[in-house]
Structure 1
């Protein structure tokens, strides 16, 4: 099977290249420069230069693909403003438009779209699943909803299978926000937001997110799945557990109002609002199961990796 991956040099995309290649598939990664070529090649993939916003370019690079995957993002960092999210919103929306058309043009059998579980987070904080109503609550969430709709409509129009993989909140040793989180804890500068002590959030180690895409592709499936681990965890519990593993000071608490001034509304809402769902559907329909079934297992791996560096 030939798999074309947009976003192949990102934290998820690198693992997609590695895991598809390890399963004996041809992993073709969309790249923009020599550095991207090196990343894809080092993971066992074939780099092809192109531009996500140029349909002709993407069709050329995706030629021969059986599966097309949209794993590209442009998540902003370091206290982003609403304007900083606009590129990520464009990557989701326009990227989905270009990639679904390319999938049709190259005759792909399946298109897989990365999304986020909190598009279906319920206003009252109750648990939810793949059939729950979506509630986009900010522009970044709305763009994920739009990308899902673009994908599903394209599947009906062009008659290929479409899979929407809604991932939990990512963490991994090489994920930017995880590294910043660990560094801040060591420096005693990673507070816990007031109100986040009881807000359970569904997370996933990025390696497990990638293996969910592999399972969906190898099963040639259509549908929506939540790709998360087995145990939602609050920000307070996650931060405390990571601090303990790093022998860092116990994180202090700050009020939600202070957090909003320092971190921005989008990040505070994400971390302080309940987001509890399950991976039951993905496990029932594929042979997937998370290697890091809880955040405890995943944080052990994260810290072991950092120590080995």
Structure 2
């Protein structure tokens, strides 16, 4: 395996931190985009070299990616608290203007490969049937930015002289992911509810560690393609929350009507949790040889809770 020079935008995020550490652990040189001193510290702690750049300043990104073999877009700005239209606009810009800047940077750097993150629910089918990489894309408010990012990436594939990989990831969870921690806290405090109708909505999920390992596998393979990255067993939000509560010795989650959920969480989140989203990573497995460390949500939740306990996070939450 030859050593790669890898540039990662989004290197300080939940996925990005794992990308930096996993590429570095395998002997590759990693440069991570950083915006401030704290970002520098995160990149360095995970084995990378920080480089200050602004994803919306194309020339600063071009300079940061100079000499890279692989350029990766792992940046995101999904609003967590108080998701205003302005915050969603920033998220959209990260997934559109950011892709334009990074693909240009990859071209000017003479990179061999550009890898783009995406989400599997861009192809979730209205009838709830399982889907794969060949299924048609279905635009909705939760997928518009990702679909546009994929389109820009494909245009770059036909314009520039590098291989392109698009990795559509399942619904993330991890010990340090905002939504996973929020659910854990809500369960411990008896405030996390299950939305009526979510019991039958099986969703393909993915531990963030395995998302990163998929990018590493594709980067080392040098392949072009479109792949779904998910674990082996779709699970409904109702089951996921209940099993996490069991592991935390937390109260059984309460119930919330569809109407109550839409008022509290918004239509986008309710649709995500109450509509089936089943796919597989068979194509990635057969073409790249990737295998998840956490094959199902059960092993993944065990890891999440073990990590929280080792960090003392549960004591703080309770």
110, 115, 118: which one pairs with 2:118? 115
Corresponding residue for residue 230 of structure 2: 228
Corresponding residue for residue 183 of structure 1: 185
1:80, CA displacement in angstroms?
Answer: 2.3
Maintained 8 Å contact 1:168/1:228: yes
Task: Give the TM-score normalised by structure 1.
Answer: 0.98
Task: Give the TM-score normalised by structure 2.
Answer: 0.96
Unpaired segments of 5 or more residues in structure 1?
A: none
What does 1:161-200 align with in structure 2 at a 5 Å threshold? 161-200=163-202
What does 1:279-298 align with in structure 2 at a 5 Å threshold? 279-298=281-300
What does 1:23-172 align with in structure 2 at a 5 Å threshold? 23-78=26-81, 80-138=83-141, 140-172=142-174
In 1, Cα distance between the equivalents of 2:78 and 2:144?
Answer: 14
Runs (4+) of structure 1 exceeding 4 A deviation are none
SS at match of 1:221: coil
Aligned residues: 308
Maintained 8 Å contact 1:67/1:109: yes
245, 267, 270: which one pairs with 2:269? 267
Unpaired segments of 5 or more residues in structure 2?
A: 312-318
In 2, Cα distance between the equivalents of 1:132 and 1:223?
Answer: 15
In 2, Cα distance between the equivalents of 1:21 and 1:114?
Answer: 19
1:97, CA displacement in angstroms?
Answer: 0.5
In 2, Cα distance between the equivalents of 1:136 and 1:196?
Answer: 21
In 2, Cα distance between the equivalents of 1:297 and 1:147?
Answer: 32
SS at match of 2:148: helix
In 2, Cα distance between the equivalents of 1:25 and 1:44?
Answer: 10
Maintained 8 Å contact 1:126/1:276: yes
Q: Deviations over 1:85-111 (max 9, x none)?
A: 111111000000100011101100100
CA-atom RMSD, angstroms? 0.8
In 1, Cα distance between the equivalents of 2:268 and 2:80?
Answer: 12
Q: Deviations over 1:14-55 (max 9, x none)?
A: 000000001110011000111000000000001001110111
